[in-house]
Amino acid sequence: MITGGAGFIGSHLVDELMTRNLDVTVLDNLSNGTLRSLGTWLGNPRLKFAHVDLLDSEDVMRIGKGCETIFHLAANPEVRLGTVNPVVHYEQNVLATFNLLEAIRKIGDVRVFVFTSSSTVYGDALDVPTPEDYAPLEPVSIYGSSKLSCEALIVGYAHTYGFKAVIYRLANIVGPRSTHGVVYDFVRKLRMNPKELQVLGDGTQMKSYLFIDDCIRGMLVGFEKADARVEVFNIGSEDQIDVRTIANIVIEEMGLENVTLTFSSGPDGRGWIGDVKNMLLDTSRLKSRGWSVGRNSEESIRLAVRNTLAS
C-alpha cells in the first residue's frame, strides 16, 4: 500500500512497483495528488485506488488488511504553511501517521513500513554534508518538527510491535508531476510576468536537488537492503546549487531575456521563517548499499524545468 500514491513522489513509486508486476493499493485523499498521475495504470487489475483520508482510521484498517509493505508518503508538503497554520502539519503529518500506525498494530499483517521524512529534521545543521547520526536534531520549521515526530512514532511502533521500519530523509526532489517547490514556483511566476521574477530570500540559499528517478531508485535500494529493525537513509544529490542560479537556469530554459530579479529576504536572507539556508546530505550510507546518484543538482534542475514547461 502506498499512502499519498497519487502525489508527486508517490505516483512515480507506483510506476516503478507496477512495472515490477506487484499488486499495489493506493490510498490518497487527493488533497495534493490527482488521479491523472496514475493514468497509466488506472484500470489495471493489479492497481487498487481508495479515496480515503488517513484521519479516518476505520477506512484505513479496512483497506490495509493483507498489505505486507506500506510506503507512507501522504503528508502536507508545503513547509511555509506551518508559519500561518501549524495545525495542518499536526493533523496531516503527525496525526495521520499515528492513525496509520494504529491500523497496522490492529491488523498485524504489515512486515515493512517505509516512511518519507525530510532533510528539514536536521534544522540548521553545523555539519555539512549532514550524516544520519547528526545530533541534536533541531528542526527550525513546524513541518520539520512534524516529520521528526513521525519518525519517533514509527521507531517506537516498530520496536514495540515487531515490524521493520525504513526512514528516508529526502533532499529537495524535483521532476514531472511536482506541484510545489522552487522550479514550479519560478515557472509559474514567469509565465504570469516574463519581465520580473520575485525570489524568496536573498538568493544565496544553498541546497541539494535530486531528480525523481534517482530518488525512487534510492528508496527501493534502501528498502531491499535494509537489515536492521530500523534503518534511516539520507537521499539527495552530492552537491548544492544556490537559488539565484536556479532562477537564471529557469529564465534561460524558458528563452527569456532582460528579466529583473527581485529579492524578498526574510531573517538572515532566508526565504521564509523556517527556511533552512544551507542543506547538503551525506548519502554514503545508502551508497554503501549499492545506490548511486545519476545527476547533480544543476542537471536535476534543468531537467525538471524542461519537464515542467512541457506539461
Burial 121-148 (b: 16+ CB within 10 A, else e): bbbebeebbbbbebeeeebbbbbbbbbb
The Cα–Cα gap between 153 and 150 comes to 5
Q: What is the pLDDT of residue 130?
A: 98
The Cα–Cα gap between 121 and 141 comes to 9
Is this model's pTM higher than 0.85 or not? Answer: yes
| Residue that has been written with the C-alpha cell 537489515 in this structure | 227
What are 246-283's pLDDT values in tens digits? 999 999 999 999 999 999 877 789 998 999 999 999 99
Q: What is the pLDDT of residue 61?
A: 82
CB 164 within 8 A of CB 24: no
Residue 81: pLDDT band (50, 70, 90) is low
Structural domains of the chain, ranges and CATH numbers in brackets: 2-173+209-235 (3.40.50.720), 176-207+239-279+296-310 (3.90.25.10)
Q: What is the pLDDT of residue 57?
A: 76
What are 140-156's pLDDT values in tens digits? 999 999 999 999 999 99
Q: What is the pLDDT of residue 80?
A: 67
What are 211-232's pLDDT values in tens digits? 999 999 999 999 999 999 999 9
